[in-house]
Structure 1
């Protein structure tokens, strides 16, 4: 298991000698609007279900989520978060060589290492704002059996346009693309077109309800693929991979499709507003704030300011942000900040400004 995920409030609180709830977690990329209205109450009324075994294959939950996404439920599996499927890619698909498109979430590489599968990175660069060059990727990906691609990407916030992604996957039918769409619902409509309906047999989509619906602790994720590939993953599914409350959440979301889709749209609009305000408030500072289509943003730091120092200064104000030095392709001059409500974001922007003022004075 990798060390260095965001969201470790317990360790941060222990360091400060305070309670975890005293810390605002801006290191974990969760919807700043929280949960879908009514979902918490629904789950509270279903707590007694933890006294019985859940549906063994999560059939009702899958049918409900398929209804939400307008796809055939026979093309979907439900597991303990998308993480379960990330770590199943290698045993299910048996690749000899894997290409990870980065800088990105470290579990893709970690999953390959666990199964002793050779992996290489195709890295987008800071000079291009970490935008992906699909033509160059297509050239390199020809040599690989599987490509991991996070879209929208974590931590860069970049999103590959849907048509470009379809063309890329279609051009390499012998390469399987595992596309993680955990953050795609946060993107504006013109970008937020899922690959779940692509119909391409070499596409595997990971779809999470953790981030957009604010329920990461339930550990609920889905895999969508055409039948030949889906069956290869099904062979590695354990019984009861999704717990009772996770299944109940999926059922609720699909049963309230109109409200759920409206919540996704509201979340994307809210994110756009908060990102614009946050970036504008810092535009005069010597920080490289990269464009993002997500509720988090990657920030490049000036020379001689290290991520560890900035994270420590922010934590003194009870604000936990993400040190990005353990992302392959980045270094200790990058941090990621996940936005919350306007008051918290304003506090974070002011603390960043205070740190940069001290940096200038000491520089």
Structure 2
């Protein structure tokens, strides 16, 4: 069975293009900070991760009752689906597979629709909820703020779950946390693991109207966020980090995509983020992945997003040297196909 997610190999790697995280994060100071706090793991963590919630409330300048902390954004996704069990959901696709899985488990009636057809499908299907990822995983496309505001105004009786886990990876204007004060039908999901490159710690949160947060917290498992994750979350959002340079990262991503497009069997698709899809005009994505893994390079086979009707891979932009290494090996794989 093909993996549903990236970063699905636990061995040593020369380059991991499969995981959409900031690749140059230096977390040495955070690790040292957590080591000094390790004795706190002898006690149970905060039941609701209250101190992290208060820190986020101060940063966003909203009341903490608008926030709930989760064991990664995945915890939030499943709690939302559970809280609205049996509802009608539109999922803007192709996208992160866990929206569908969470809705299926909780007996939602599901309708998949394309980004372009979202308003047409809302009118036809009359859903209770609409799920969309913005910027979207896997293709990095992004609705801008005005587009989303127009949709929210047009359908006030539909609850919109907008996953902004990759918010830090785009220059596009997106919805702010304070939008939940304006729209009572809005749920915003966030992740701390992508921007700060700590996916193993599992830290996510949701910002929504108070009544929705109360509903979600009815399904929250006590102590679901561990002590070190809480402390790491507070640490990273309180530090000034000058190393994160989105503009330079996006510039390298454009160069990377252009070089890939020079190889005639590949087509890098336009993206608003440093991660993007590549369409294969020849060969199978699974075979390319296996070929590269033998050389310590991991990519994401994204064909499953398209029911394997189109052969796709997803790549995150890494360093110039790592990107050039991948281009060289993709060329080598192309040559192997003609032997």
Instruction: Tell me, yes or no, whether TM beats 0.5.
Output: yes
Match of 2:274 in 1: 295
Partner-residue secondary structure (3-state), 1:347: helix
Conserved 8 A contact 1:186-1:267: no
Maintained 8 Å contact 2:6/2:18? yes
Cα pair distance change 1:328/1:120, threshold 3 Å: farther
Match of 2:120 in 1: 139
**Any idea what SS the aligned residue of 2:190 has?**
strand
Deviates more, 1:104-113 or 1:277-286: 277-286
In 2, Cα distance between the equivalents of 1:327 and 1:43? 37
The answer to whether 1:80 aligns with 2:71 is yes
Root-mean-square deviation over aligned CA pairs: 2.0
Would the aligned equivalents of 1:95 and 1:145 in 2 still touch at CA under 8 Å?
A: no
Q: Secondary structure at the match of 1:8?
A: coil
Task: Provide the secondary structure at the position in 2 that maps to 1:314.
Answer: helix
Q: Counterparts of 2:136 and 2:14 in 1: how far apart (Å)?
A: 26
The alpha carbon displacement at 1:72 in A equals 2.9
The 8 Å contact of residues 85 and 106 in structure 2, kept in 1 or not, is answered as: no
The structural deviation recorded for 1:241 is 1.9
Matched residue SS, 2:223: coil
Paired position in structure 1 for 2:189: 206
1:301-345 residue CA offsets vs partner (Å, 9 max, x unmatched): 11x411112112211221110111222466351011122222111
Aligned to 1:307: 285
Output the TM-score relative to the length of structure 2: 0.92
Number of residue pairs matched by the alignment: 333
Match of 1:44 among 35, 58, 73: 35
Q: Which residue of 2 aligns with 1:233?
A: 216
Q: Which runs of 5+ in 2 are unaligned?
A: none
- The answer for the alignment partner of 1:215 in structure 2 is 198
Q: 5+ residue gaps in structure 1?
A: 11-19, 124-131
2:300 matches 1:351: no
Show the counterpart of 1:197: 178
Query: How has the CA–CA distance of structure 1 residues 145 and 246 changed in structure 2, closer, same or farther, with 3 Å as cutoff?
Result: same
Paired position in structure 2 for 1:128: none
Task: Give SS of 1:249's match.
Answer: helix
